[in-house]
Amino acid sequence: MTIPAPLPAVPLLHARGVTKSYAVRRAPAATVLSGIDVDVRQGEMLSIVGPSGSGKSTLLYCLAGLERADAGEIAFDGTRIDGLSQARLARLRRDRIGFVFQSYNLIPSLSAAENVALPARLARRRTPDVPAALSAVGLSGHGGKRPGDLSGGQQQRVAIARVLAAAPDLVFADEPTGALDTATGGQVLDLLRAHATGRRSVVLVTHDLDAASLADRTLILRDGAAVAELSRPMPSDILDVLHAAERTGAAS
Ligand SMILES: Nc1ncnc2c1ncn2[C@@H]1O[C@H](COP(=O)(O)OP(=O)(O)OP(=O)(O)O)[C@@H](O)[C@H]1O
Ligand SMILES: [Mg+2]
């Protein structure tokens, strides 16, 4: 008889009351996130959807420790990251967290292959199998090109290869298929889905409800607040919640 492994007691990421405002010049600070709770369990893929400007990217930045939340608790694998020193936070991000930016953030002076190898170089880790990482995103033969010589969708795939090659415990992907055609987007989603296994988890922000429904759970944001969390939803379930939230918002 095999005894199933016990479920981990603490989620990989545990966030409560994440709040963030931005002050723009002299205007009163605008609240972008108003107290968001979110957990990401090991081996799980969580998707986040919501209208443009609802705070999805800001939430990812706060959860990944790229931005400091104004208030709230964020713990990664049992360690509070809000309040961690910049140096310790940078080390944690380098060693255990990957971030696929909505705007790719490739280094323009480095080739695609050098961009993929960069995180390992910076962390003084063994260089990953760069040709395999590029091949997995359909970019075999493009390793020598610089970002400026690649299309937007190709740059996006280099950014994804760069993160997945480092095999971090937690991947945040902000609209990773935004610039991709259906077939290539499907490949990328398969890679992200396959990453979310064992200890590894993925948080996916997307406007694509079919992509969102590949996740184990979906968090729906509106105006910086979580309006619903759905378990293994169909795309139509997500759409219903988005429409209902829109009607409530319009009525208030
Ligand atoms: N650095 C900043 N300074 C001021 N305001 C900001 C800043 N970053 C984001 N915002 C504001 O916060 C709100 C949420 O932005 P965010 O980028 O998180 O939205 P989003 O849901 O990711 O949108 P999209 O789907 O268009 O990517 C927007 O109103 C935006 O103008
Ligand atoms: Mg965004």
Residue 106: predicted pLDDT: 96
122: number of Cβ within 10 Å: 9
Q: Does residue 20's CB lie within 6 angstroms of at least one atom of ligand 1?
A: no
**What spacing in Å lies between the alpha carbon of 5 and ligand 2's midpoint?**
37
**Atom 8, ligand 1: which residue's CA is nearest?**
58
pLDDT at 25: 81
Q: In the chain, which residues have pLDDT < 50?
A: none
The dihedral region occupied by 108, where left means phi > 0, alpha psi between -120 and 50, and beta the remainder, is alpha
Q: Which pLDDT value is given to residue 24? A: 82
Q: Give 54 Cα–ligand 1 centroid separation in angstroms.
A: 7
Residue 168, CA distances (Å) to 55, 84, 147, 164, 198 in order = 24, 20, 23, 7, 12
What is the pLDDT at residue 5? 59
Q: What is residue 4's predicted lDDT score, i.e. its pLDDT?
A: 62
Place of tokens 């199933």: 4
How many Cβ atoms from other residues are within 10 Å of residue 110's Cβ?
15
Which of 94, 98, 106 lies closest to 159, judged by CA?
106
Please give the pLDDT value at position 60.
Answer: 97
Residue 23 near ligand 1, beta carbon < 6 Å: no
Using the mean position of ligand 1's atoms as its centre, give its distance from the Cα of residue 90 in Å. Answer: 23
Q: Whose CA is nearest to atom 11 of ligand 1?
A: 32
Give the closest residue (by CA) to ligand 1 atom 24: 52
Going from the N-terminus, what domains does the chain have, and what CATH number goes with each?
41-55+91-251 (3.40.50.300)
pLDDT at 127: 93
